[in-house]
Amino acid sequence: MADDELQFKIDELTFKLQEQAKQHKDSLESWRREANSVRERLKTLAQSNENKLGGPAAAQKSSDVYARSVEWTIEEFVKSGKAATPKGESLWSPEFSIMGVPSMQIEFFPSGRDSTWQEGFCSLFLWCPAGIKIKYQLTVGKHWSAPDEDVCEARVGHGHSNLCALQPEINTDNDSVTIGVCILDLRKAETLNDCLKLITLTPESFIMKEADILHNRDITSVEWRIKDISRRATDLPTGASLCSPIFSIAGVRGMFLEFYPNGVLGASSPGHCGYYVRCPAGTSLIMTLTIGTVVKGPIQTQFDNSTGKGLPDFCVLAEQMTEKDLIVSIQVRSPKLEEDERRLELVV
């Protein structure tokens, strides 16, 4: 009998390992599909830029959607006299495109600008079109600046008047100097008309959003601060809701909270507020919901579709408006996550 029980446990563990391997394979396939989808969107964006700007030069500029850094090498730097460019005069790189953003350019002052006070230091500036929020690093030779973050409200240069001493960064073997910029993050807002604005984010931002699922895996509670609750409750009629930002906790992506200050339509208790949670279909959670000092739960629920789960008559809102802001929170347990952790322990 002992041998049979041992064999049963071995078979059970083998099955669980196979199931885990299948889930891992499915997850990898899902990530591949997402990556392919991002690539297709980037290609569409590049084609859109090409059509809008027109001509082969525009096509070249809009094709660099995957580029993150640019190096501009100035040859015969000393021999040509460029190293001795007078203070306040600059050299300009050719225009280039990074991540689908055209008309970018580097301005280099070998002897510095009028505001350069360090003797022998050079100045370097990155020029971007309007509507760009950018985080970047500038380089001269092997010198890297600290990361800078700027908002370009107009086409103007951003950088440093006292970047570094130029002489040590000149490559004396081939008489050249290499200037560069590395883009760490970029956000582009394009206004089509008075009421429509297109916002382009980097592919890294989508990856970081997915990474939040892993980063927040061990987080089990969220607090949502609704500011100036009295005014907002006055402005909203019955049946109208406020929605929190989307977040991920306990291994669940795409969650958000939905708060009805004056209750949902058809609620039976006047003066009560409603509180709902929305999750992807198939999610199972044990939830404890809180508004102000009122706590309801724990409640175990299964999200079968996009319909929210919660209570239409949660509490009397007026009794919780003792402060200017209202705290709405959720604490969760995920049976699936707990089962996965137990499964991992069995495998180990």
The DSSP element (H or E) to which 61 belongs, if any, is helix 55-61
Across the chain, which distance is largest between two alpha carbons, in Å? 93
* Cβ–Cβ under 8 Å, residues 157 and 194: no
159 Cβ contact list (under 8 Å, min separation 6): 107, 123, 124, 125, 126, 138, 148
Is the preceding omega at residue 298 within 30 degrees of 0, hence cis? yes
CA proximity to 315, closest of 329, 295, 288, 286: 295
- The CA distance from 9 to 17, in Å, is 12
CA proximity to 79, closest of 177, 180, 178: 177
Q: Compute how many other C-beta atoms are within 10 angstroms of the C-beta atom of residue 236.
A: 15
pLDDT averaged over 10-residue windows placed end to end, the chain, 348 residues: 58 61 68 69 58 42 67 94 94 87 90 92 91 88 87 85 92 94 78 60 59 69 91 87 85 86 84 90 89 91 81 92 91 78 54
C-alpha dihedral sign at 334, 335, 340, 344: positive
The predicted pLDDT at position 80 comes to 94
The predicted pLDDT at position 153 comes to 81
The predicted pLDDT at position 132 comes to 83
* Cβ–Cβ under 8 Å, residues 261 and 236: yes
> Looking up tokens 């570094």, which residue turns up?
164
239 Rama sector, left if φ>0, alpha if ψ -120 to 50, beta otherwise: left
| Sheet strands (E) in the chain | 69-75, 91-92, 96-98, 101-109, 121-128, 132-140, 143-144, 148-152, 156-165, 176-193, 196-201, 221-226, 242-243, 247-249, 252-260, 272-278, 283-291, 294-303, 309-316, 326-333
Concatenated DSSP letters for 235-270?
HSPTT--EEPPPEEETTEEEEEEEEETT--TT-SST
Both tokens of residue 76?
Answer: 């015969």
Q: Compute how many other C-beta atoms are within 10 angstroms of the C-beta atom of residue 141.
A: 19
The predicted pLDDT at position 13 comes to 62
For the chain, list the domains and their CATH numbers: 69-201 (2.60.210.10), 207-346 (2.60.210.10)
* Cβ–Cβ under 8 Å, residues 71 and 179: yes
Dihedral angle over CA of 29, 31, 33, 35, nearest 10: -140
- The CA distance from 297 to 257, in Å, is 16
